[in-house]
């Protein structure tokens, strides 16, 4: 952009709708944005320069937004959800950032940065997440290359998930949960995946422990254990299952007339309702997507909960993306023998089924990206290798030699896989949020 240019085109497109009419007549409403030229006489872009948040780069070419869309909700529903989809036009060189500012009926405002991918980003604002209903939403951005679609859901059925980002899921108010023991969401990044948030590990166990042994636990894969067999056995602290494995579990349970918990029966209904599994005359078959879960338990800190949720979300990406699976397979096959041996000992300690190559690659991908690349060495050498030495005394000599290998072998894999994920998703290792709170 020439420095002599003395003005910047400021585009603003404003949409106003009567929320009470919309909510009374329809559960959803959708439209696409269009752009109107409002003012061509805005002066030099560096005059009255305003840094709207710490996340805006001080040397940004356009410190002020190029567009703003305003949505007014005159009669907001306390149980409603406002859902947006921002699709970039083809061949967009610079998508820029998106921001959303929420005005609540109690006068408070909240502002978010929305991470943008190279294609499309979905985000939602459940009314129940905020301290009061949302009366207005302003969406602004640094690019004119968006087509914005909007849906307003009047109510979410008790068997339907609430659309939400990982930030909202992790921080969802307990008092807003539709069930005292759990809540479940459709992940805005991958809507075909349901995310369960349980209030404690015990409730999570009731829903998912039996499935854990059926799908992943070494020595038990393919078996549906009884309650007495499951007693005193540890499942997982967090879970992930694809549609194929869930369908196989419920199909075998029906064939063998296994007695399931009421929580597992409820889970089946939710899966059927969301078309993760399908039912026909031949039984249960796979649909689409899958589930992940974590627990808000007093035994786990907020940070540990974040790690669990991040880890399980990475499995959802692995399930969904064949190119990611193929790259992970290649990276696993090309690992140096000592490095692969370390990972195999780690998975053995975690009690994963060592004969399941798909599971091995899935866990390799997820553990590699659960933390930022720079934290991987500490996670293994400080946190886990001492445990492995105690768990496998015969491997102590081998584990001691690992420090002689180039220390970047862990971070290198993280950087390679992270780069591949970012070809499609606006996330990074250790953080799968697309909605970032500013204030």
> Do 313 and 243 fall within a single domain?
yes
Range(s) of the domain holding residue 114 = 8-156
Q: Is the pLDDT at 120 greater than 80, yes or no?
A: no
| pLDDT computed for residue 69 by the predictor | 65
Q: What is the CATH number of the domain that holds 15?
A: 2.60.120
Residue 38 lies in a domain: yes
Q: Is the pLDDT at 16 greater than 80, yes or no?
A: no
* Span between the terminal Cα atoms of the chain, in Å: 32
Q: What is the mean pLDDT of the chain?
A: 81
> Do 251 and 295 fall within a single domain?
yes
Residues 6+ apart with CB under 8 A from 8: 42, 43, 44, 45, 62, 64
Residue 226 lies in a domain: yes
Q: Is the pLDDT at 43 greater than 70, yes or no?
A: no
Q: How confident is the model at residue 405 (pLDDT cuts 50, 70, 90)?
A: confident
For residue 126, list its beta bridge partners.
Answer: 81
Q: Please compute the mean of the pLDDT values over residues 204-214 and round it to a whole number.
A: 96
Q: Please compute the mean of the pLDDT values over residues 248-270 and round it to a whole number.
A: 96
Residue 428 lies in a domain: no
DSSP state for residue 373 in the 8-state scheme: G
Residue 396 lies in a domain: yes
Q: Which residue has the tokens 């349980």?
A: 198
> Do 12 and 99 fall within a single domain?
yes
Look at the chain and report how many structural domains it folds into.
3
Residue 3 lies in a domain: no
Residue 432 lies in a domain: no
> Do 245 and 259 fall within a single domain?
yes
Q: Do 189 and 427 contact (CB within 8 A), yes or no?
A: yes
> Do 200 and 314 fall within a single domain?
yes
- CA dihedral (260, 266, 272, 276) in degrees, to 10, reads -80
Q: Do 177 and 162 contact (CB within 8 A), yes or no?
A: no
> Do 37 and 85 fall within a single domain?
yes
Helix-strand-coil split of the chain, %, nearest 5: 35, 25, 40
> Do 177 and 315 fall within a single domain?
yes
Q: How confident is the model at residue 435 (pLDDT cuts 50, 70, 90)?
A: very high
More confident residue, 256 or 3: 256
> Do 87 and 230 fall within a single domain?
no
| pLDDT computed for residue 299 by the predictor | 81
Q: How many CA atoms lie within 13 A of 189 on its CB side?
A: 28
Q: Is the pLDDT at 67 greater than 80, yes or no?
A: no
> Which of 269, 301, 321 delimits the end of a domain?
321
> Which of 299, 321, 343 delimits the end of a domain?
321
Query: What span, in angstroms and rounded, lies between the C-alpha atoms of 380 and 411?
Result: 11
| pLDDT computed for residue 31 by the predictor | 29
Q: How confident is the model at residue 91 (pLDDT cuts 50, 70, 90)?
A: low
Residue 69 lies in a domain: yes
> Do 301 and 326 fall within a single domain?
no
Specify the range with the lowest mean pLDDT, choosing from 43-47, 61-65, 413-417. Answer: 43-47
Residue 435 lies in a domain: no
Q: Do 111 and 438 contact (CB within 8 A), yes or no?
A: yes
Q: How confident is the model at residue 66 (pLDDT cuts 50, 70, 90)?
A: low
CA distances from 123 to 112, 145, 250, 433 (A): 11, 17, 32, 10
> Do 337 and 232 fall within a single domain?
no
Q: Is the pLDDT at 162 greater than 90, yes or no?
A: yes
> Which of 126, 156, 186 delimits the end of a domain?
156
> Do 264 and 246 fall within a single domain?
yes
């Amino acid at each position: 952009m020439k420095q002599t240019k003395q003005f910047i085109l400021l585009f603003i497109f404003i949409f106003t709708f009567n929320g009470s009419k919309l909510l009374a007549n329809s559960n959803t409403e959708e439209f696409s944005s269009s752009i109107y030229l409002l003012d061509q006489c805005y002066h030099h872009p560096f005059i009255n320069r305003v840094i709207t948040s710490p996340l805006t780069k001080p040397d940004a070419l356009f410190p002020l937004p190029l567009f703003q869309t305003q949505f007014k909700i005159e009669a907001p529903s306390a149980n409603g959800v406002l859902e947006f989809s921002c699709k970039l036009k083809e061949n967009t060189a610079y998508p820029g950032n998106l921001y959303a500012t929420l005005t609540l009926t109690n006068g408070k405002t909240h502002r978010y940065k929305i991470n943008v991918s190279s294609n499309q980003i979905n985000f939602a604002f459940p009314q129940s997440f905020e301290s009061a209903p949302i009366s207005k939403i302003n969406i602004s951005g640094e690019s004119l290359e968006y087509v914005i679609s909007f849906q307003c859901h009047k109510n979410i059925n008790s068997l339907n998930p609430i659309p939400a980002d990982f930030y909202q899921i992790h921080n969802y108010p307990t008092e807003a949960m539709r069930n005292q023991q759990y809540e479940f969401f459709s992940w805005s990044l991958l809507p075909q995946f349901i995310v369960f948030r349980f209030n404690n590990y015990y409730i999570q166990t009731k829903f998912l422990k039996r499935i854990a042994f059926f799908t992943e636990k070494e020595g038990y894969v393919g078996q549906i254990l009884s309650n007495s067999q499951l007693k005193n056995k540890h499942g997982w602290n967090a879970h992930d299952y694809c549609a194929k494995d869930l369908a196989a579990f419920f199909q075998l349970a029906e064939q063998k007339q296994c007695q399931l918990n009421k929580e597992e029966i409820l889970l089946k209904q939710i899966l059927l309702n969301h078309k993760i599994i399908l039912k026909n005359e031949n039984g249960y078959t796979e649909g689409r997507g899958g589930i992940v879960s974590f627990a808000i338990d007093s035994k786990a800190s907020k940070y540990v909960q974040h790690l669990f949720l991040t880890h399980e979300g990475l499995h959802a990406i692995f399930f969904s993306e064949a190119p990611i699976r193929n790259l992970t397979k290649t990276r696993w096959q090309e690992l140096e023998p000592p490095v692969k041996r370390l990972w195999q000992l780690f998975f053995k300690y975690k009690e994963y089924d060592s004969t399941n190559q798909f599971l091995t690659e899935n866990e390799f991908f997820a553990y590699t990206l659960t933390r930022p690349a720079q934290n991987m060495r500490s996670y293994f050498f400080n946190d886990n290798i001492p445990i492995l030495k105690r768990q496998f005394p015969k491997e102590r000599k081998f584990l001691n030699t690992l420090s002689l290998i180039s220390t970047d072998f862990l971070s290198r894999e993280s950087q390679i896989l992270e780069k591949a994920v970012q070809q499609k998703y606006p996330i990074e290792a250790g953080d799968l949020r697309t909605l970032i709170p500013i204030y």
